[in-house]
Amino acid sequence: MTIQRPVALLLVASLMINVFCVGALVSHWIRPQPPMEMPFGPPMKDRLPPPAVELFRALRKVPYGPLGEAMAAAREARSAVQAAMLAEPFDKAALLQAFDALREAESELARRAQQRIAELASQLTAEERADLARFRAGRMGPISGRFPPPPMQP
């Protein structure tokens, strides 16, 4: 009879822990998630003037069209590289071909994204374009500050 009491206490404690964990998981699942900001995150909104942010929002509402197609192609090319990397038996030529396709897809994606940025820049004032250029220089600049960023034209 003395063994049954500790077992019962352990059972009750275990049930309480399980109820707490299930409650925590359920509350996490039902909590509304904040909307994702695409194609840029909070740092860009903090660095650009309000008119530029509004233009980005307006451009974001326009269907991606060719840019979306390029994103999908790059995603597929990345999947093909992963599949070639994991293939058994390993085929070096297939992996190199997948890398070539990935390079082309990413190049096309960059070209279309840059067209979209050019579209935005054409609607900005000189000061707003300078802010955008400073943002892009910081974003595309050197890794870990190994090299100084390119000089900005006033």
DSSP per residue, 77-121: HHHHHHHHHH-SS--HHHHHHHHHHHHHHHHHHHHHHHHHHHHHH
Q: Per-residue pLDDT averaged across 8-35, rounded? A: 81
Peptide bond into 35 cis (omega under 30): no
Q: pLDDT tens across 95-134, in order?
A: 999 999 999 999 998 888 888 878 878 887 888 777 777 7
**Domain boundaries, given as residue ranges, for the chain:** 37-139
7-44 residues labelled b (16+ CB within 10 A) or e (exposed): eeeeeeeeeeeeeeeeeeeeeeeeeeeeeeeeebeeeb
The Cα–Cα gap between 81 and 139 comes to 26
Q: Is the dihedral of CA 119, 122, 124, 126 positive or negative?
A: positive
Class in CATH terms, 37-139: mainly alpha
pTM over 0.75: no
Q: pLDDT tens across 39-79, in order?
A: 545 565 666 667 667 766 766 666 667 777 888 899 999 99
The Cα–Cα gap between 59 and 72 comes to 19
